[in-house]
Amino acid sequence: MKTSILTTVACLLMLVNFAQSTFPNLYYIGEVNGKTVVMLDNKIIPGTIQIDTSIQLLANGIVVWGNKTSTILRPGDCIDDSGIVYSERKETDFIGNPRALNHIHMLPEVTISGAAKADNSELGNYKNYMEKLYKNIELNDYYITLIKEKLWTKTRKEATKYRRKINSLERENMELKIDFDIFMHYGVFEDWPLFRVEKNEDLKLLVQDIAALKSELL
């Protein structure tokens, strides 16, 4: 059991702040006595889990998608109840499995080119920043969802005047998420301070706009 818990620390650290809101069920793959197991809340799940109407998670960590293709998850991988896979493994591990790549979200790692030349302190600064940015993007998604749900309680006329604004904020946060993923996989390490300056400004404006709309509606 100890081994299983240790192999999932990175995944849990990234998602713990959202476990109750964004990810009500986060299944993680562990290893006990050399056997792959699926765990939820530190408890082994012995049988097949129906992730949604079309996705199944088998007790040995194999995901069966709606089109009957499958993905083998390994100790340290996680999958939420939306069918999103989180992994610290290299994305190339999933090549040849388009369904998995459509659902994968690699956890922040220093995998960008040039990183090997940096000292440990700078790598730590980079990783801490990227983890923080990831969490802020997810938090934006959470607040945007709350606002959209609130609009359903408004009359059509009231909701219409807010709809364009919330759609714009959702697009901006998606663009921020795309920028994050692109830099994670294809960025040059020496450029990350500039990336940080640019994304901090984008994030600051986006958070301000979301907060203003949230205070008005929630």
pLDDT for res 152 = 87
Residue 62 neighbours by CB distance under 10 Å: 16
Tokens of 30: 């562990």
Q: pLDDT tens digits for 125-153?
A: 888 888 889 889 989 989 998 998 888 88
Is the pLDDT assigned to residue 58 strictly greater than 60? Answer: yes
Place of tokens 């993680």: 28
Read off the pLDDT band of 38 (50, 70, 90).
Answer: very high
More confident residue, 166 or 100: 166
Q: What is the pLDDT of residues 151-173, one digit of tens each?
A: 888 888 888 888 889 989 999 99
Residue type, 169: L
Give the residue from 129, 82, 96, 138 showing the smallest Cα distance to 110: 129
Give Cα separations from 111 to 58, 74, 207 (angstroms).
Answer: 30, 20, 28
